[in-house]
Each structure stands twice: as structure tokens, then as C-alpha cells.
Amino acid sequence: MKNTLFIVSTPIGNYEDITLRALRVLKEVDFIICEEFKEARRLLSKYKIEKHLIELNEHNENEVSDEICQMLLEGKSAALISDCGTPLFSDPGHLLVDLAIQNKIDVVPVPGVSSLLTAMVGSGMDFEKFYYYGWLSPKKDIRRKQLLDLKKRKETIILMDTPYRLKTLMEDIVKILGANIPCVLAFELTKEREKFYRGNAANILSHVEKESLKGEFVLVLKNN
């Protein structure tokens, strides 16, 4: 395991979803690179794993990536985790992976849970071909322009956003993509409140308003 950077997927809500391989790697590496100490410690405590942690996020990625790369070059092994799910999807760590590859450090993905795939397989929609857009801009004008661009794509579209912007996002989708666009809201995946809201954009917006929905979500749209 020397000179190796493992990219380790962790649960998105249900701790039982972690893989045996992920647990073994987390126990065996020299240190773990996390997005936030609090989330990482909660996760590792659940599995009774004690490791040296290095925080890497959007605020310190440039500085910390060089230091971590040097440690790996010296023979250490590390696991990169995000707060939940598969690292690098809308998460920091790309610079570190690029540096590792440039320095011929082994980069080994340890697959596991992904909210993206979990949402798609539970949506009931055809996703043989899909377009993952990820997070729209929080700025109203830019977000609406992005949705206008997405209107041109005739395929399944995957969107994500923060819990507090769900209502605003659905309102914009109804206005720009249309009230009748087929839509599935995958809400609080793998958690106790998990639910798939299926219908069209207007139906989903109605549920969001009536139930005051706030939580982690993935939105799947079928732009015919």
C-alpha cells in the first residue's frame, strides 16, 4: 500500500452501506484525507477506526494537496473520502488526484455508494443515456440561463442542489422547462425519510410546498 492514494466511497446516509473493502482500506492506510473533521470523525467512530486526519476542502486545497503528495512520495498511503458518497463528484480533491498522477503515485478507486446512481436506479426512468449537470448556480439569472440551455438537451438530466434551494429550483424548472416535464425527486436517499416523488415538475413542486421538504436530494428530469 506504499505510495498509494485510495479514493474511498462512504455511505450517503445509511452506515450499513459501506463495503468490506472500504473498511479494510480505511483501517490500513497511514492517514485519511477528509472534507470536514466533524463528518469524518463521526463516520470513523461508527466503525471504531482511529486515524490521523488531514482536512482538504475548497478553502485549502491548493496548499494541502502539495503537502499530501509529498507524504505519498515518501512512502505513505492515504484514503481520500468526502463527507458522504463517492469523492470528487461536486467535491474537492481533483487537484490532489492530478498531482498524484503527475508524480506516478498509484491512484486506486474503492467503489461504493453514489447518490447519483442510487437516484437513477430508483427513479423508474430510462437512463441508458443521461446528462449529469450537477449543481446549478445559486444566482437567479445565471441559474435560469443554465436551465434554458438544459431545455435543448433531449435526454435524462440529473441535477443536485442544497436542501434550502429545493423549492426555488422547482419553481424555476416549472417556469422554464415546463410544468409537465417528467420529474423524479429522490429525497433523503438511504435514510429513514427516504422517498421517491414521481410525476411532473408541477406535482413535485406541490409536494415540496405542502410538506415543506428540506433535505438532501437528487432530481431526475426527462426532457423529451
65-113 tens-digit pLDDT: 999 999 999 999 999 999 999 999 888 899 999 999 999 999 999 999 9
**Position 212 pLDDT exceeds 90:** yes
What does pTM read for this prediction? 0.90
Q: What is the DSSP letter of 78?
A: E
The residue with cell 463517492 is 86
The 3-state DSSP class for residue 217 equals strand
Phi-psi region of 75 (alpha: psi -120 to 50; beta: other; left: phi over 0): left
- Cβ(205)–Cβ(154) below 8 Å: no
- How high is the pLDDT of residue 58? 86
Nearest to 26 by CA among 1, 48, 43, 49: 49
Q: What average pLDDT score do residues 194-206 get?
A: 97
CATH of 4-110, picked from 1.10.540.10, 3.40.1010.10, 3.40.30.160, 3.90.550.10, is: 3.40.1010.10
Find the Cα–Cα–Cα–Cα dihedral 122, 127, 132, 135, rounded to 10°: -30
Report the candidate in 19, 165, 177, 185 with the shortest Cα–Cα distance to residue 86: 19
pLDDT score recorded for residue 223: 83
Residue 91's pLDDT is: 86
State the DSSP string of 159-182. Answer: EE--GGGHHHHHHHHHHHT-TTSE
Which backbone phi and psi does 40 adopt, to 5 degrees? -65, -45
**Given this model, what pLDDT does residue 1 score?**
76
Please report the pLDDT score of residue 51 as a whole number.
Answer: 96
For 217, residues 6+ apart whose C-beta sits below 8 A from its C-beta are: 160, 161, 163, 166, 185, 186, 187, 188
Cell numbers for 135: 449543481
The string of DSSP letters for 90-114 reads SSS-HHHHHHHHHTT-EEEEE----
| Portion of the chain with pLDDT greater than 70, in percent | 100
Question: How do the domains of the chain map onto residue ranges?
Answer: 4-110, 115-222
Question: Rounded to an integer, what distance in angstroms lies between the CA atom of residue 80 and that of residue 149?
Answer: 34
The CATH number of 115-222 is: 3.30.950.10
CB-CB contact of 65 with 43 (8 Å): no
* Res. 141 pLDDT band, cuts 50 70 90: very high
pLDDT value of position 73: 96
Residues belonging to the chain:
224
pLDDT, averaged across the chain = 95
Task: Please report where in the chains the cell 428540506 appears, as a residue.
Answer: 214
Does residue 153 have a pLDDT over 80?
Answer: yes
